[in-house]
Structure 1
Amino acid sequence: MSEAQNQQHPIGVYLKIWLLLFVLSTASYMVDYFHVESYLRWSLIIIFMLLKAGLIVAVFMHMMWERLAFVYAILLPPLLILTFIGIGTLEADYTFLTRSIFFFKGAQ
């Protein structure tokens, strides 16, 4: 039990993650430098952003070494919020379409 309380992670793990974060940040910068346009640009930027955020949460916030219940307690609420935002976006598109059909039909 005392071993688990005094457990320290090797510094090499943190240095590798710092290097990987630097590489991902450089790749994100290169997207702008090479003038990548359209949906590819935003997809790459978001992918690099999520990868960096995931690494920071997993390693520097020690989520990688936590119990699964604790990880679920931290990560599940934001995932549910994103799901509800997606559902709201779909509903907003439907509402906008319905209103445009109604108002344009009534104007004729």
Structure 2
Amino acid sequence: MAQADTHDPALHGTAAAAQPVAHGEGQQHPIRLYLVVWGWLFILSACSYAVDYFGLQGLLRWSLIVTFMLLKAGLIVAIFMHMAWERLTLVYAIIVPPLVLLVFVAIMVVESRYTELTRLLSFGTGQ
């Protein structure tokens, strides 16, 4: 008994013709998406400049500036570098290393404060 070929388009009728064909060209995103992102980048930059304009000082100033900077970088990476549409492994390959570096920096900050405290307790505050 002969077995029918399951890959024959004649057996599937119009189902084979209805499937989309993948093209080698890239996916085109609507221009509105890019305009919205540019708008948000402008707003975040204005907020960053407003921190200086209003004369905020200390930890609040730097935390706001770094927050706005990270938000802008996230938008640029997600939309203009097309990370929002990439595979999860590629996103992890780009996002995880800087996060690991930030964890190491945080560990170094904690260790430096411990070392400073130990030195002050052991050797005194000087003359």
Query: TM-score range, shorter-chain basis?
Result: 0.7 to 0.9
Match of 2:117 among 81, 97, 102: 97
| Equivalent in the alignment of 1:67 | 87
- How many residue pairs get aligned? The number is 106
More helix by share: 1
Q: When the two structures are superposed, what TM-score results if normalisation uses the length of structure 2?
A: 0.75
How far did residue 5 of structure 1 move?
4.7
Cα separation, 1, equivalents of 2:78 and 2:95: 11
2:44 corresponds to 1:24 = yes
Q: Deviation per CA, 1:46-67: give whole Å up to 9, x if none.
A: 1111111110111011110001
Q: When the two structures are superposed, what TM-score results if normalisation uses the length of structure 1?
A: 0.87
| Equivalent in the alignment of 2:9 | none
| Equivalent in the alignment of 1:76 | 96
Cα separation, 1, equivalents of 2:71 and 2:107: 24
Cα separation, 2, equivalents of 1:60 and 1:43: 25
What is the SS of the residue equivalent to 1:8? coil
Cα separation, 2, equivalents of 1:31 and 1:92: 29
How far did residue 2 of structure 1 move?
1.6
Distance 1:39 1:88, change over 3 A: closer
Match of 1:55 among 55, 75, 79: 75
Structure 2: runs of 5 or more not aligned: 1-20
Cα separation, 2, equivalents of 1:3 and 1:81: 39
Cα separation, 2, equivalents of 1:29 and 1:95: 36
| Equivalent in the alignment of 1:42 | 62
**Greater radius of gyration (CA):** 2
Q: Could you tell which deviates more after superposition, 5-14 or 86-95? A: 5-14
